[in-house]
Amino acid sequence: MLKDVFIGLSQNQFLTAAAKKYGLKLGAQTVVAGTNIEETIASIRELNAQGISCTVDNLGEFVFEKEEALKAKNSILEVIESIHANGVDAHISLKPTQIGLDIDYDFCYENLKEIVDAASKYDMHINIDMEDYGHVQPSYDLIDELLKEYDNVGTVIQSYFYRAEDDIKERKDLRLRIVKGAYKEPAEYAYQTREEIDANFIALIEYHLLHGKFTSIATHDHHIINHVIQFVEENEIPLEKFEFQMLYGFRKDMQLDLANKGYNFCTYVPFGDDWYGYFMRRLAERPQNLNLVAKQVFNK
Ligand code: FDA
Report yes or no: 103 and 64 within 8 Å, Cβ to Cβ.
Answer: yes
Residue 74 Cα to ligand 1 midpoint, Å, equals 29
Share of the chain above pLDDT 70, in %: 85
**pLDDT digits over 243-281, tens only?**
999 999 999 999 999 999 999 999 999 998 777 777 777
**pLDDT digits over 45-85, tens only?**
999 999 999 999 998 877 889 999 999 999 999 999 999 99
Residue 76 Cα to ligand 1 midpoint, Å, equals 25
C-alpha–C-alpha distance, residues 242 and 123, integer Å: 18
DSSP-based three-state secondary structure for 92 = strand
pTM above 0.95, yes or no: no
Q: Where are the domains positioned within the chain?
A: 33-274
Predicted complex ipTM: 0.98
**pLDDT digits over 195-222, tens only?**
999 999 999 999 999 999 999 999 999 9
C-alpha–C-alpha distance, residues 281 and 270, integer Å: 13
C-alpha–C-alpha distance, residues 77 and 118, integer Å: 7
C-alpha–C-alpha distance, residues 203 and 67, integer Å: 42
DSSP-based three-state secondary structure for 190 = strand
Report yes or no: 265 and 53 within 8 Å, Cβ to Cβ.
Answer: yes
Mutate to test the pocket of ligand 1, among 30, 47, 132, 180 (most ligand atoms within 8 A of CB): 180
C-alpha–C-alpha distance, residues 270 and 248, integer Å: 7
Q: Regarding beta strands 214-218 and 126-128, do their DSSP bridges make them parallel or antiparallel, or are they unpaired?
A: unpaired
Q: Please name the fold of domain 33-274.
A: TIM Barrel (3.20.20)
Residue positions annotated with a catalytic role: 129, 177
Determine the residue type at 159.
Answer: S
